[in-house]
Amino acid sequence: MSDVPMPQASGSNSTPAQLPINLFTRSQSDAIPSSTYFIPSGWRRFQLSELINKVLQNNAEHGKKPVPFEFLINGEVLRGSLENWVKKNRGGDEESQIDVEYVRSTMPPEEAGRVEVEDWVSGLSLERNGYILLSSYLSHLQILPKSTTSPASSSALFTLPLPTSLGATSCTWVSPPSSTQDILLAAGGVDRLVHVFNIPSLSAGATEPPPRELYTLHGHTAPISSVIASSTGKEIVSGSWDGNVNFYILPTTEPTEHQLPAEPLSYLPGQGNKKRRKMEKEAGGRDPVEGLTDGDSTGEGGWRRAPDGVMRGHQGRVGGLVWDKLDEGRVWSTGWDGSVRGWDVDNGAAAVLRQGPTDKSGLCIDQFRANGTLATGNMDRTICLWDTRQATSLISLTLPTSSPVPSLKCHPTSSFTLASATYSGVVQIWDVRSPKHALFSISNANKAGSGEKRKVTKNGKVLGERLLALDWDGETLVAGGEDGEVGIWRATGA
Instruction: Output phi, psi for 312, to 5 deg.
Output: -110, 145
Reference 435, options 363, 369, 375; nearest CA is 375
Question: Quick check: 243 and 317 in contact, CB under 8 A?
Answer: yes
The answer to whether 14 and 91 are in contact (CB under 8 A) is no
Q: Write down the pTM of the prediction.
A: 0.82
CA 102 to chain centre: 27
Closest CA to 229 of 210, 202, 249: 249
Instruction: Let me know: does 40 contact 7? Beta carbons within 8 Å.
Output: yes
Whole-angstrom distance, CA of residue 459 vs CA of residue 468: 17
Query: What phi, psi does 205 have (nearest 5°)?
Result: 85, -5
Residue 289, amino acid: V
Could you tell me the residue ranges of all domains in the chain?
2-104, 110-490
Amino acid sitting at position 234: K
Sequence-ordered strand ranges (E) for 156-289:
158-161, 168-173, 183-189, 194-199, 212-217, 224-229, 235-240, 245-249
Identify the architecture of domain 110-490 in CATH: 7 Propeller (2.130)
Give the architecture-level CATH label for domain 2-104: Roll (3.10)
Say how far apart CA 494 and CA 431 lie, in whole Å. 9
What pLDDT, on the 0 to 100 scale, is given for residue 246? 98
Mean pLDDT of the chain: 85
Which pLDDT score is estimated for 456? 85
Q: Is the pLDDT of residue 286 over 90?
A: no
Query: Which one has a higher pLDDT value, 63 or 388?
Result: 63
Q: In angstroms, how far is the first alpha carbon of the chain from the final one?
A: 31
Asked whether the beta carbons of 211 and 197 are under 8 A apart, the reply is: yes
pLDDT digits (tens, 9 = 90+) for 111-152: 998 888 889 999 999 999 999 999 999 999 999 998 866 555
pLDDT tens profile 59-95: 988 899 998 898 989 878 888 999 999 999 988 888 8
Helices of type H across 183-333: 273-282
Distance CA 213, CA 493 (A): 36
SS (H, E, C) 68-127: CEEEEECCEECCCCHHHHHHHHCCCCCCCCEEEEEEECCCCCEEEEEEECCCCEEEEECC
Quote the pLDDT of residue 490: 92
Question: Average pLDDT in the 388-398 region?
Answer: 78
Non-local CB neighbours of 257 within 8 Å, separated by 6+ positions: 294, 303
- What is the rounded average pLDDT of the residues 40-50? 93
Nearest to 415 by CA among 470, 472, 478, 369: 369
